[in-house]
Amino acid sequence: MPEAECERLVTEALETGYRLIDTAQAYGNEAAVGRAIRQSGLAREDVFVTSKLSSIINEGQAV
């Protein structure tokens, strides 16, 4: 998904009342999700973000 579309969708979700954003490293959208959260004006402690690491990186020395 293009970054601009991701950012727009996360922004719309936050405006609608969503407070849990689920993402993953494999999606490659961390920057867009972060921008949308920052620009929302919501207190960071009011937004929950869950993410998953790629299994390739899920080795003790990489985590």
The answer to whether 18 is a known catalytic residue is no
Rounded Cα–Cα distance for residues 52 and 63 (Å): 11
CB 62 within 8 A of CB 55: no
State the catalytic residue, choosing from 9, 27, 34, 49: 27
Considering Cα of 13, then 22, then 24, then 63, what sign does the dihedral take?
A: positive
**Which positions are catalytic?**
27
